[in-house]
Each structure stands twice: as C-alpha cells, then as structure tokens.
Structure 1
Amino acid sequence: MELIDYIDGLFINVPSIQDYWITARLNTEFKGHTSIWYTEMKGIHGRRNWPWWKSQIIQKHRNGTWIWQKTMSLENDKYSVDKYPYEWCLRKSKRLKAIDPQMNIQMGNHKLLAQIPGELEHAVKFRCNHNLTLDDIENNLPDMRKRTNIGKYTQYKNSGFKEKELSGWSLKTNPQKGWQK
C-alpha cells in the first residue's frame, strides 16, 4: 500500500509525469509472487493506465485474509520499554493506515495510544492535548517512559524474584536462595 501512496504522490507533486512512465516500471517494484501476478495480468490485459492497475493491486492484496493478518499484527505488537518509540509509532501508524485508509488521523492516534501500557498511556494522554498528533506521541513517550515506574518494574521482573501471595502475606522467592520475607 505504500507503493500506491508513493505513486499517487508522484502524480500530485509532478504534474508532467506520464502515466506510461509509471506503469512501465511497475514490474521493477514487484518481487516474488506479485511480480509473476503482474506479468500474467499484463499479458492478459495489455497496457493499462495507473488507475486500473491501482484498483487491481488493491483488489488482489487487500482481501479479508490480508486485513486480518494486519489487524492481528497490530494488536499483538504492544509497546514495551525495550522498543524504540519512534520505530514503534511509525510501524503502528503504517499498519493502521493500511487496515483502514479512510480513518482520520485523530482516531488512528488514539488507537495507537491504546496499545501502550495503562500507566504510560495515561501519562502521555495527560501531557498531550485533545488534538493528539503522532509527533506528540513520539516526543512524549520517551520522556514519560523515563518518568514512570514502568522501566523499574521491568528490571525487577527480570531480576529473578517472583511475587507470591500466600494467605494475605506477600512473599518473594528467589530461585537461588529460596523463600524470603
């Protein structure tokens, strides 16, 4: 879908570009199975303009299975403190745009924010205004990550100690030393 956005942008930004220049080079942009599909379609239908190819690409690749896979990868890719926020935000926003190209920016940013753990999400929402932008999330997320206890919790979690609740007492266990109070 990024290729479609790029080519549409070329037609907008470079008014003198010819439709033939784009469609003649499509095969160089496709790899693997898509390249074979393009060659077969070109053999059957001959030379066509960009709007026709655009509709064929969307019809071929934007089916129910593809949307389900993108949705699952979007839902499973939760933010964690060991990920770089800029890469994570960009990846998530691209997935959201691919799933629903008609979604407005505000809704996309709020869906992206919902993928952040509760305490950190609340801190970023509190710091940003209601007209939340992707830049606001990218800029405030690293700062809020440092100011909240999320990083400290992860370090504690990986230190080998586990909390256990036993008849109202909170005990910690270390695999090397046994039970501790």
Structure 2
Amino acid sequence: MFKEEFKIPAEYISSRLYSLFTKSAKRCYNKRRQDHGKHSWPWWKEKIIFKWENDSWRFEMEKYFEESIFNIERDRPMSWFIKQKDRLTALHPDMSQTMIHERILRKFGGDLEHAIRRRFIEPFSTEDYINSMGDITTMKIGRNWYKHPIENKTSGKAIPKPNKAH
C-alpha cells in the first residue's frame, strides 16, 4: 500500500518496520531479523502476509472480538471502541463504517446500546460514537447499566439517613 499509493521507496519501508510494529509483531520482526538478516520490502511483505493473513489468525481475531465485552470500570470508551474497530477492519477490510459501528454497538446490548442509538438520527462518525459512549458511561444510565457483583448483594441492614443541618 505505502509503496504504490505514496510512492515510498521499498528500502525506506523495510528500514522503518521496527518502528511500525508493536508487541508480538515487533518480537516476531526482531526474531526474523536476527535469523535472516536485512531484506527488501517484498521479502518482508511476503513473511508478514504468511504470518498474519491466514485462517488461524482470522479465527483468533474473531474470537477476541466476540469475547471482548465493554466493562465500565476497566475499559476506556475510546480505546475499547478503537480496538474493536481495528479488529473488524482487519478481518473485513471491505466492511462499511456503518456496518462496523452496528456490530460494535450490538456488543453492548440493553440500556447502554439503546442510549447510544437514541443520540443519532443518521449514521455518524467513529468519534461521535466514542464521545457518546464516554458521555453515557459517566452519566447515571452508564452507572446503572453496569452493577458490580459486590454492590448487588444486600446486607439486610438499614442504612441510616444523614441528618440535615438547617
């Protein structure tokens, strides 16, 4: 993509791979670089496609997408939404933004999904969805949507009302 669309020389792309990769991709790159030495961009492109563009990788990405549920105490709306969007885009590059947003919104279910949908009349951008998620999760509906298991247990003791000093 970079070579054809931006007319970047192959040597420059292959020299910048280390800074482009993160986590397991960076570890894999380092290992292959140690084992095979310096190579051109077409060689690296072939190795990258072989490593990550296969059925096993697709199955794993789909599994991560399906298992990832938004947790109001653990997840930040922006990072969670972007991660899900990146997973879907990697799995289905031709999927429209509207369909990506639909699949992500269906993962919320219930009140939170309804509250986010009520804010829109027509399909909006990813930023609009993320901003709405952030607003709603900090408001009362977001706190009511997610109840911590410990909070659901009642001790049976009456909670005294505070005295109001006038």
TM-score, length-scaled by structure 2: 0.71
Aligned to 2:48: 57
The residue type paired with residue 106 of structure 2 is: A
- Higher-Rg structure is 1
The residue type paired with residue 125 of structure 1 is: R
Aligned to 1:106: 98
Mean Cα deviation higher: 90-99 or 30-39 = 30-39
Structure 1 residue ranges, 4+ long, deviating more than 6 angstroms after superposition: none
Contact 2:69 2:108 in 1 (8 A): yes
CA 1:25/1:86 → structure 2, altered by over 3 Å: closer, same or farther?
Answer: closer
Aligned to 1:169: none
Deviation at 1:155, TM superposition (A): 4.6
**Of 116, 139, 145, the match for 2:108:** 116
* Greater relative contact order (CA < 8 Å, ≥ 6 in sequence): 2
**Of 29, 32, 44, the match for 2:27:** 32
- Tell me the number of residue pairs that the alignment of Structure 1 and Structure 2 aligns: 152
RMSD: 3.0
Aligned to 1:93: 85
In the alignment, does 2:123 pair up with 1:131?
A: yes
In the alignment, does 2:14 pair up with 1:19?
A: no
Aligned to 2:71: 80
CA 1:121/1:20 → structure 2, altered by over 3 Å: closer, same or farther?
Answer: same
The residue type paired with residue 61 of structure 1 is: W
Deviation at 1:133, TM superposition (A): 2.0
Which structure has more strand as a fraction of its residues?
Answer: 1
Q: Deviations over 1:145-167 (max 9, x none)?
A: 34453413545743252xxxxxx
* Separation in 1, partners of 2:68, 2:117: 20
Contact 1:93 1:108 in 2 (8 A): yes
Aligned to 2:59: 68
3-state SS of 2:151 partner = coil
Q: Deviations over 1:79-113 (max 9, x none)?
A: 12222111111111111112222222111111111
Return 5+ residue gaps in structure 1 as ranges.
Answer: 1-7, 162-172
TM-score, length-scaled by structure 1: 0.66
Q: Deviations over 1:116-165 (max 9, x none)?
A: 1321111111211332321121111122234453413545743252xxxx
* Separation in 2, partners of 1:74, 1:9: 27
Contact 1:27 1:38 in 2 (8 A): no
CA 1:148/1:117 → structure 2, altered by over 3 Å: closer, same or farther?
Answer: farther
**Of 137, 141, 155, the match for 2:133:** 141
The residue type paired with residue 71 of structure 2 is: S
Same amino acid, percent of matched pairs: 22
